[in-house]
Amino acid sequence: MKKLKERWNITSNFQLVIIFIVFGITGTTASMIASPITEWIGLELETTNKWIYWPVRILLIFPPYQVLLVFFGWLFGQFQFFWNFEKKMLRSLGIKI
């Protein structure tokens, strides 16, 4: 935990717990959003090859996840951490903000 706190420049264990909670809520919410979208476009796990279904689902989850991460970070008072995290992630994908 100490290395993670140093890497993320976090000062307290409470802040670390809040960040973990935000990651959990964001992942769950993005996954819940992807289910109706995949059904709406006609992709279902039972009828679609898993090699098609999962990459498409992951691509559908990615954009809402990015927005939700910053939103929930703001909601929990950690906007600056998640905004910096988001910019770093997008830069690693070649997208400049």
pLDDT digit string (tens) for 42-81? 888 888 888 988 998 888 888 899 999 999 999 999 999 9
Q: What integer pLDDT is reported at residue 43 of this predicted model?
A: 86
State the SS3 of the chain.
CHHHHHHHCCCCHHHHHHHHHHHHHHHHHHHHHHHHHHHHCCCCCCCCCHHHHHHHHHHHHHHHHHHHHHHHHHHCCCHHHHHHHHHHHHHHCCCCC
Q: What integer pLDDT is reported at residue 24 of this predicted model?
A: 96
pTM: 0.83
Instruction: Select the more confidently predicted residue: 10 or 72.
Output: 72
Q: What integer pLDDT is reported at residue 73 of this predicted model?
A: 96
Does residue 3 surpass a pLDDT of 90?
Answer: no
Angstrom distance (rounded) from CA 73 to CA 30: 14
pLDDT digits (tens, 9 = 90+) for 19-30: 999 999 999 999
Confidence category of residue 1, pLDDT binned at 50, 70, 90? confident
